[in-house]
Amino acid sequence: MTEIKTQRNKVDYITTAIVYPNSRIHVGWAWECLGADWLVRSLRLLGRETFFATGMDEHSINVQKAAENSGQTPKAYCDRMALDIEKVLRQMGLSYDRFIRTSDPDHEWVVSTLVQKAFDQGDIYQAKYEGLYCEGCEAYYTEKDLKDGLCPAHGKAPRWISEENYFFRLSKYQDRLLQLFKDRPDFLQPEYRRAEVVNFIQAGLKDFSVSRSTFTWGVPLPFDPKQVVYVWFDALINYLTAAGLEFKLKDPQSSQAQVFDARWPARVHIIGKDISRFHCVYWPAMLMALDLPLPEKVFAHGYITIKGDRMSKSSGNVVAPDEVMALSGPDPFRYYLLAENQFSQDGNFTWESLILKNNSDLANDWGNLVNRSINMARKYFPEQSLTLPERLTHSSEVRASFEALAQELTAAVEKVDPAAYASACSSRSRLLNLYIDRMKPWALAKQGTPESQTELHEVIFTLLEGIRWLATVWMSILPFGMPEVFKQLGLTPPLEQGAIQGLTWGRVEFVPSEPKPIYPRIERVTVENTESG
The answer to whether 490 and 513 are in contact (CB under 8 A) is yes
- Please report the DSSP string for 69-101 in residue order: HTTS-HHHHHHHHHHHHHHHHHHHT---SEEEE
Element (H, E) at 147: none
pLDDT at 187: 98
The answer to whether 488 and 516 are in contact (CB under 8 A) is yes
pLDDT at 309: 80
pLDDT digits (tens, 9 = 90+) for 166-177: 999 999 999 999
The answer to whether 101 and 82 are in contact (CB under 8 A) is yes
The answer to whether 253 and 170 are in contact (CB under 8 A) is no
pLDDT at 137: 62
pTM of the model: 0.92
pLDDT at 2: 30
Confidence of residue 132 (pLDDT cuts 50, 70, 90): confident
Q: Give the start-end residues of each E strand in 57-197.
A: 98-101, 124-134, 139-141, 159-168, 188-189
In this model, does residue 314 exceed pLDDT 60?
yes
pLDDT at 4: 34
Rounded CA-CA distance 364/366 in Å is 6
Distance of CA 130 to the CA centre of its chain: 37
Q: Which of the given ranges, 60-69, 204-213, 424-433, has the highest pLDDT on average?
A: 424-433
Confidence of residue 160 (pLDDT cuts 50, 70, 90): confident
Bridge partners for 236 per DSSP: none
Confidence of residue 148 (pLDDT cuts 50, 70, 90): confident
C-alpha count within 13 angstroms, C-beta hemisphere, residue 425: 30
The answer to whether 143 and 131 are in contact (CB under 8 A) is no
Q: Which domains does the chain have, with CATH numbers?
A: 11-319 (3.40.50.620), 358-489 (1.10.730.10)
pLDDT digits (tens, 9 = 90+) for 190-248: 999 999 999 999 999 999 999 998 888 999 999 999 999 988 999 999 999 999 999 99
Rounded CA-CA distance 271/30 in Å is 12
In this model, does residue 525 exceed pLDDT 60?
no
Rounded CA-CA distance 7/146 in Å is 39
**In what side-by-side order are the strands of the sheet with 211-212?**
211-212, 224-229, 220-221
- The amino acid that residue 458 corresponds to is E
C-alpha count within 13 angstroms, C-beta hemisphere, residue 184: 17
pLDDT at 62: 86
pLDDT at 143: 72
Any residues with CB less than 8 A from the CB of 211 and at least 6 apart, and which? 165, 166, 221, 224, 227, 228, 229, 230
Rounded CA-CA distance 119/286 in Å is 12
Rounded CA-CA distance 208/390 in Å is 70
Distance of CA 178 to the CA centre of its chain: 28
Distance of CA 293 to the CA centre of its chain: 22
In this model, does residue 5 exceed pLDDT 50?
no
Rounded CA-CA distance 208/506 in Å is 60
The answer to whether 160 and 131 are in contact (CB under 8 A) is yes
Element (H, E) at 226: strand 224-229
